[in-house]
Every structure is written in structure tokens, then in C-alpha cells.
Amino acid sequence: MRTRHVVGAVIAALSVPVAVALPAQSHGYISTPPSRAALCAAGTVKNCGAIQWEPQSVEGPKGFPAAGPADGAICAGGNSRFAELDDPRGGAWPTTAVSAGQRLTFTWKFTARHATTGFKYYLTRAGYDATQKVTRANLEPTPFLNVPYNGTQVPSTLSHTATLPSGRTGHQVVVAVWEIADTGNAFYSCTDVRF
């Protein structure tokens, strides 16, 4: 009887560090217009690696653009498990047709409803080459949409509508950043559009 209690205590003691060390598996991503993660999860884009099962998990350090993921790793949130999101695929990511001045609605799907600082949406600069990885140098430094959320918890889905900037042609990338209020992280979502 005593042996069974000792074994149970050892198993419980070993499982606590494992449970604490495992990252949360659910958070959120842009479902429409489809982000790169959503396209992978839907099977529209193949050879996506782990992101096809975890489109909601593109989590990285917050503070973008001053901090956050390194250049060339922005779409994956700096997470090497999802490096396929940073691969420009020769400029072949599927795009959503848009036009300058158009009002476009971005819908987030959340699988964990975090207290939120806010959302920021950045667009690549005029002349962006879609065969190159996304870096700070090829993004406008100021977001075209900034939505403060003041620590409020998000619902299961949430939409933001923005007027798209002018002066763009061809394939561009929207980088959306969802900043969490009570952790040091944010979630990153890249959506390819074509003006």
C-alpha cells in the first residue's frame, strides 16, 4: 500500500513540471480574409508544417515594431516551428483582391480569449517584392489601423474594418498584431492581398 502512494506521489511530482513547461496550444488568428495560417489550416496551401494543425498558435514577443520577432521571421512570430509562414513561396501565396481606399474587414477567430492591449495592422510599402520575406524595412512604420482594447477580454470572434491605404499595386502583405495585456507576448497574422 505504501509503495502505491510513493509511486503516485512521484508521478504527480514529475507531471507538474511537464504541465507547466508545455505552452498553451490555442489562441487566435485572422480567418477572413484568409491569413497564411488560415490558408494552411484549410489545406489551400500545402507543405505548411505544424501550422496546418495550429493556425491559432503564432505567438511571439510583443512590442512590434520596436521589439518582437526578428526581421524575416515576422509572419511566424519568431517561432521556428512555423517558419513556413515566412517563406515567400516565390510570391505565390494566394491573395485577396483589394483596391486602394476600400474598406476591408479582418475577422479574428479566438480559441483562447485573452485580456487584450490592442490590435495593430501594418501594410508593406509601395514597391514591396512579394518574393522576399517580410521585414520592418519593407513595412510602413505606422499601422494603418490601431484598435485599443484596454485590457478587455476578446470574444470568440472579433472583426475590425479598415480603409486600405492608397499608393499600392500588386501583391502586398498585411501584418496584424494582437497584443496580449497580461503576458509578454502577441499573436502575429500575415494576410496576402493584391491591389
pLDDT 10s digits, 154-179: 898 999 999 999 999 999 999 999 99
Distance (Å, whole) CA 93 – CA 179: 25
Percent of the chain whose pLDDT exceeds 70? 87
Angle at 54 between CA 49 and CA 58, to 5 degrees: 90
Contact 164, 105 (CB under 8 A): no
Q: What is the pLDDT of residues 2-22, one digit of tens each?
A: 544 444 444 444 443 333 333
Amino acid at 178: W
How many other C-beta atoms are found inside a 10 Å radius of the C-beta of residue 163? Answer: 12
Q: Has residue 145 got a pLDDT over 90?
A: yes
> What is the value of pTM for the model shown?
0.86
Position 136 pLDDT exceeds 60:
yes
The CATH number assigned to the domain with range 25-194 reads 2.70.50.50
Under 8 Å between Cβ of 134 and 75 = yes
Distance (Å, whole) CA 129 – CA 88: 10
Say whether pLDDT at 138 is over 60: yes
Please tell me the total number of residues recorded for the chain in this structure: 195
Cβ-based neighbours of 104, under 8 Å, separated by 6 or more: 33, 98, 161, 162, 164, 193
* C-alpha grid cell, residue 142: 505606422
Question: In the chain, what are the domain boundaries?
Answer: 25-194
For 21-50, what is the mean pLDDT? 85
Whether pLDDT at 148 is above 50: yes
Lowest mean pLDDT among 24-28, 50-54, 167-171: 24-28
Helices (H), the chain: 2-21, 36-41
Nearest by Cα to 187 from 61, 52, 84: 61
What would the mean pLDDT of 132-150 be, rounded to a whole number?
Answer: 97
- Rounded Cα gap, residues 178 and 195, in angstroms: 24
Do the Cβ atoms of 45 and 94 come closer than 8 Å? yes
What's the pLDDT at 144? 98
Provide the mean pLDDT of the chain: 89
Residue-wise pLDDT for 85-133, tens only, equals 999 999 999 999 999 999 999 999 988 778 899 999 999 999 999 999 9
Which of 187, 33, 188 has its CA nearest to residue 104?
33
Q: Is 124 exposed, middle or buried (0-12, 13-18, 19+ CB in 10 A)?
A: buried
**pLDDT for position 19:** 35
